[in-house]
Amino acid sequence: MSTQDDTLTYYTPSYYTESMNPWPDHPELQGDHDCDVCVIGGGMTGTSAALHLAERGYKVILLEASKISWGASGRSGGQMIIGYNQSYHDIKKMVGKDDAQKLWTMGEEAMSLAKEQINKHKIQCDIAHGHYHVSTKTRHIAELEEYLEDLESAGYQGCKLLNKEEIRNKIGSEKYLSGMYDPNGGHLHPLNYTLGLASAAEKAGTVIYEHSRVTKIDHGKTPKVHTDKGTVRCKHVALCANAYLDGLEKKIDNKIMPVGTYILATEPLSEDEANNLISDNAAVADILFVLNYFRLSGDRRMLFGGEVNYSAKDPADIGKIMQKTMLQYFPQLTNKKIDYAWGGNVAITVNRLPHFGKLGPTTYFAHGFSGHGVVLTGLAGKLIAESIAGSEERFDVFSKIPHRSFPGGNILRTPALVLAMAYYRLRDML
317 found inside a domain: no
Mean pLDDT of 38-64: 98
Pairwise CA distance, residues 205 & 196, whole Å? 14
What's the CA angle centered on 19, arms 312 and 373, to 5 degrees?
A: 50
d(CA 40, CA 62): 6
Domain that holds residue 215: 15-76+191-255+351-408
pLDDT value for 137: 93
Segment 101-106 mean pLDDT: 98
Q: Is the residue at 29 inside a domain?
A: yes
Residue 226 in domain: yes
pLDDT over 90 at 89, yes or no: yes
Q: Give the pLDDT confidence score for residue 50 in this predicted structure.
A: 98
Average pLDDT value for residue range 279-303 = 95
Q: Is residue 206 part of a domain?
A: yes
Q: What is the mean pLDDT of residues 123-131?
A: 98
Q: Is 9 a residue whose pLDDT tops 70? A: no
**CA–CA separation, 380 and 395 (whole Å):** 8
pLDDT of 430 strictly over 80: no
Distance between CA atoms of 305 and 286, rounded to whole angstroms?
A: 11
The pLDDT of residue 387 is above 50: yes
Q: What average pLDDT does the structure give for the chain?
A: 92
Cα four-point dihedral sign 329, 334, 338, 342: positive
Determine the pLDDT at residue 3: 38
Instruction: Summarize pLDDT for 156-199 with one digit per residue, the tens.
Output: 999 999 999 999 999 999 999 999 999 999 999 999 999 999 99
State pTM to two decimals: 0.93
- Quick one: pLDDT band at residue 240, thresholds 50, 70, 90? very high
* Pairing assessment for the beta strands 79-80 and 178-187 based on DSSP bridges: antiparallel
CATH number of the domain where residue 220 is located: 3.50.50.60
Summary count for the chain: helices (H), strands (E): 13, 19
Tell me the percentage of the chain whose pLDDT exceeds 70: 92
pLDDT score at 307: 83
Give the count of beta carbons closer than 10 Å to the beta carbon of residue 231. 17
Residue 427 predicted with pLDDT over 60: no
Number of domains in the chain: 1
pLDDT-wise least confident of 53-67, 177-191, 252-266: 252-266
Best CA proximity match to 53, nearest among 392, 397, 396, 386: 386
Write down the pLDDT at residue 412: 47
pLDDT the model gives residue 309: 76
Per-residue pLDDT at 70 exceeds 80: yes
Whether residue 360 lies inside any domain: the answer is yes
Q: What is the pLDDT of residue 315?
A: 75
Indicate whether 292 belongs to any domain: no
Mean pLDDT for the stretch of residues 110-125: 98
Question: Does the pLDDT at position 5 exceed 50?
Answer: no
Residue 114 is assigned to a structural domain of this protein: no
Per-residue pLDDT at 168: 97
pLDDT digits 0-9 by tens, 304-329: 999 877 666 677 799 999 999 999 99
- What percentage of the chain reaches a pLDDT higher than 90? 85
Q: Is residue 393 part of a domain?
A: yes
Reported as a pLDDT band with limits 50, 70 and 90, residue 220 is confident
Confidence category of residue 407, pLDDT binned at 50, 70, 90? confident
